[in-house]
Structure 1
Amino acid sequence: MKKIILFTAFVALSLATTVNAQEEIKVQDKYTAHNKGKFFVSWGGNREVYTKSDVNFRGKDYNFTVDNMVAQDKPKGWHVDYINPARMTIPQTNFRMGYFINDHYSIAIGVDHMKYVMTQDQVANVTGVIATGSAFDGTYNNTPTAMVEQFLMYEHTDGLNYVNTEFSRHDDISSLFKIGNTDKIQVNLTEGVGVGLLYPKTNTTLLGKERHDDFHVSGYGTSLKAGLNVTFFKHFYIQGELKGGYINMQDIRTTQSTDDRASQHFMFFQRLIAFGGIFKV
């Protein structure tokens, strides 16, 4: 009798172990169970807000600072330009391409194509000296001055290009939404840190001088982000992110003269939504 009981218990335990092993294999067989070795690419749009910034303008015959300049982004709204290859750089866009080095961490490169536009006709305090032979010549000492176009038009609209590398963590939180089959729908939480260069094409009308109209490496930026990723049918996803960062540009080209420069630093807060794909090669 003891032998029968022991044999029955052994068989039951073996069956239970086999079932558990099969369940584990099923989980492991899911494409979404592991990320290591996968590539991803995404494209989307963004909106920004910026802190006020002290902007210094300097050249052979002038050196002045506009205190607490106010600026905003330049949204295009929902538009076909986001997917038109010939006009993709006109809206505010985000491109990213990356690789999972393990199941939870990825490294990516990308461009945040933002736009920065000084609020025209605002009144700001100006400090410095202008001696260009224009109507604006004089010495300024916290002098309230209207930013009329003849005096200054200042924007990074083609654009405020933050070319960066990001290191991010990804966590599957599908169970919180009671999603059983993550190969159909998977929800992921992601957080990351980024660092990169600013490569703007600055459009500036300054004291009647001819503007510089070319891309120029002007400084650096750092950023932190958090987002939610929803992946459909293993390979396609939509991702929303909130990103905050710091931009420091000490070498901004403003006119055709190489002596003319501007500098500024400020914080930004970005909201973005992107569509992408994830796959193994």
Structure 2
Amino acid sequence: MKKLLVVGLMMSGFVAFGQVKKDTLNKEYKLEIAPYKDNKTEKKQKPNPLSKKGQVFVFYGWNRGAFSNSDIHFTGNGYDFQLNNVQARDKPTKFGIVYIDPSWFTVTQYNFRIGYFIKDNLALVLGIDHMKYVMKQNQTVDFSGTISDPKYAAMVQNGQVNLADTEFLTFEHTDGLNYENLGLEKYKNLIHKKNIDLVWSYGAGIGVMFPKSNVRLFGNERSDRFHVAGMGTDLRSSLNLVFWKNWMIRAEAKAGYINMWDIKTTLNNKPDKARQDFVFGQVVAGVGYTFNTKKYN
């Protein structure tokens, strides 16, 4: 009887051990294949617009600008003088087909941007701000300095000069006040819905001033040529409404500082020049398109 009992216990232990081993192997087998199944079924989700490294956007819009008063210093053969607190305005084009006709796009006060996300939510942005700056003609300003030509020296009365007489000076950057800049912008998604996103951005930029200045001083032939005249810097912030992941409407506000120390005042290569610095403000609105340079399933 004892032998039968011992044999029975041994057989039951063997069966139990076999079942445990089988269960353990099944669990280990499941653990080994589970990640494989998950990897097969896992898909990369397309990121939100204006949020991930590798995304690109392009933008085209129009601006209105405002400028602080500035002191403009003129130097050349027979004159060295400064006009103080000169007022200026922008020069918007009347709304019409000129705003949508590509052959006339430089006539308007326009902005162009192309941005690339170098990190998540951080974009490197290359831009052109085509502003227009026009000195107000109907103003009297303080004058200091010397003019050797008696005709134009006589236009200075009691330390002031009336600029309404266009023979003394017309002064514009209307072809235009071109600020070619490179900036960094940080983006934050505020609203994320199925077919619409609202994205806020802020950043700063720096660049060169490449104006085509229209200056006519003392009746000389008008200076009218592109050249590097100085530098500018800015702070900017925008709201971007993105439809169907790609199409974008942008509204932007910008403030900055411009210093131009080499404004050409004569048409030829004479050393005549002017210099000025001022603060500017700008509001921009336009449309854009955003897309991904990386593939997403």
- TM-score, normalisation: structure 1: 0.84
Structure 2 distance, partners of 1:140, 1:154, is 18
Query: Is it true that 1:164 corresponds to 2:188 in the alignment?
Result: no
Q: Percent identity, aligned pairs only? A: 40
Structure 1 partner of 2:271: 259
Structure 2 partner of 1:238: 249
1:244 is aligned with what amino acid?
Answer: A
Structure 2 partner of 1:58: 75
Structure 2 distance, partners of 1:187, 1:166, is 21
CA deviations 1:104-142 (Å, max 9, x no partner) are 100011100000000012100111111135x21269697
Query: Is it true that 1:88 corresponds to 2:105 in the alignment?
Result: yes
Q: Structure 1 or 2: larger helix share?
A: 2
| Change beyond 3 A, Cα 1:42–1:180 | closer
| Change beyond 3 A, Cα 1:170–1:262 | same
Structure 1 partner of 2:162: 146
2:275 is aligned with what amino acid?
Answer: S
Structure 2 partner of 1:98: 115
CA deviations 1:12-65 (Å, max 9, x no partner) are xxxxxxxxx9xxx79x62441642101111100000111000000110110111
**Alignment length (residue pairs):** 250
Is this contact kept in 2: 1:166–1:192, CA < 8 A? Answer: yes
**What's the offset of the Cα at 1:78?**
3.1
CA deviations 1:175-209 (Å, max 9, x no partner) are xxxx532xx10000100100000000000110011
| 5+ residue gaps, structure 2 | 1-37
Query: Is it true that 1:180 corresponds to 2:196 in the alignment?
Result: no
Is this contact kept in 2: 1:130–1:139, CA < 8 A? Answer: no
Structure 1 partner of 2:126: 109
| Change beyond 3 A, Cα 1:220–1:268 | same
Match of 2:124, SS state, is strand
Relative to structure 2, which stretch is displaced further, 83-92 or 187-196? 83-92
CA deviations 1:188-243 (Å, max 9, x no partner) are 01001000000000001100111221101000000001110010111110110110
Query: Segments of 4+ in structure 1 off by > 4 A?
Result: 138-142
Is this contact kept in 1: 2:155–2:162, CA < 8 A? Answer: no
Query: Is it true that 1:208 corresponds to 2:219 in the alignment?
Result: yes
Q: Which structure has the bigger radius of gyration?
A: 2
